[in-house]
Amino acid sequence: MSPWRLLVIGVLWIGVAAAFWHVVQNREQHPLSRTRLLLGTVVEITIYDERPQRFADSVDAAFQEMARIESLTSFHQPQSDVTRLSSTTGTFAAAPEVLEILKQGLKISRASDGAFDMTLGRLKALWGFGSPHPRRPAPEDIREALQGSGSEALSIEQGRVLKHTNARIDLGGIAKGYIIDRAAALLQRAGVRCAAINVGGDLRLIGRRAVPWRIAIRHPRHSDALLATLVLAEPLAVVTSGDYERFFEQGGVRYHHLFDPATGMPANRCRSVTVVSPEAALADALATAVFVMGPDAGLALLERYSRTGGLVVDAAGVVHVSRGLRSQVVWP
């Protein structure tokens, strides 16, 4: 073998070894992931970046922002805007964030013919989800708790909230999504290009990755099985509402926390609803609305929003997928 060939081979091997070594040395580029207990669940923010550590402060700021808005919208805290709004009738000067949530919520409430309802505070308290001993209330108690609820109970005029009845406000179906959106906006302003916010299984993706996002959806009856996987190229929000999240059984019947405002009973048309939409607030509220409306009316509602789709498991366990989403669903 001529010395030239030996030289070429040697250089090639050194090149390969150097490239390999470089890659091994740079393997510390793990995405940065931080968790906090907020919104009554585990919140996880993951930053995908060459140097994710530089956004650590922004992640902390996002957590703080989430905690701040949570304190405005919580109905547990006696001084929160939502608690004070619940106990007043007439005009109320709400914080801009609460006003924004109510505005979006009312729109969806009207679009869904009241299937999405932010005035079910008394009904939810009556059933006692979140307390140690939830129970099925008497029908007359349910009727009483529904008095004064419905989307006509609230309106917004000149930047002030007008509450016409004594309904108690519960933003459970939209506040979480709105808070996720605010955290996402904060991260984007801080220069984060690719990230994910996961609030107890409700997600908002930020930016595109070289490979699409793969979002698995839990099976509503088998907690360790996957129903399907969504393959999303675009940064969207994915929110799932299911009857398995919070429920109790009484007399062999399962009572869960997603109520039909028309009856005051747990909605019984679906087992789980996953909504994909550009904004988490919209996805959150629509998931609740579709859960109440059922697969046919629900998917028809989703068609009215751009880049929005859904996957519904109905009461019989049959899966319905909206047309726009079909090409993005991978079955296991």
What's the min distance (Å) between Cβ of 155 and other proteins?
A: 33
54: contact with other proteins by CB under 8 A? no
Please give the helix or strand (H or E) that residue 34 lies within, else none. strand 32-38
325: contact with other proteins by CB under 8 A? no
**Dihedral (C-alpha) 240, 246, 252, 253: value to the nearest 10 degrees?**
-60
Q: 89: helix, coil or strand?
A: coil
Nearer to other proteins, 78 or 132 (CB): 132
**Dihedral (C-alpha) 87, 283, 199, 160: value to the nearest 10 degrees?**
-30
Residue 229, number of CB atoms within 10 A of its CB: 15
What amino acid occupies position 93? A
Please give the helix or strand (H or E) that residue 300 lies within, else none. helix 295-303
Binding test (CB under 8 A) with other proteins, winner from 117, 170, 202, 279: 202
225: contact with other proteins by CB under 8 A? no
Binding test (CB under 8 A) with other proteins, winner from 66, 169, 180, 215: 215
Name the segment binding other proteins (CB under 8 A); options: 76-84, 93-101, 201-209, 256-264: 201-209
Q: Which of residues 121-160 bind other proteins (CB under 8 A)?
A: 132
Q: Which of residues 55-84 bind other proteins (CB under 8 A)?
A: 63
Name the strands in the sheet holding 160-163, side by side, starting at the edge strand that comes first in the sequence: 90-92, 160-163, 154-157
**Closest to 75 (Cα-Cα) out of 163, 175, 162, 177:** 175
What's the min distance (Å) between Cβ of 94 and other proteins?
A: 27
9: contact with other proteins by CB under 8 A? yes
Tell me the two tokens of residue 317. Answer: 């366990």
User: Which residues of this chain interact with other proteins, rule CB under 8 A?
Assistant: 1, 5, 8-9, 12, 16, 20, 23-24, 26-29, 34-37, 40-42, 48, 63, 132, 196, 198, 200-203, 209-211, 213-218, 223, 226, 229-230, 238-240, 242, 245, 274
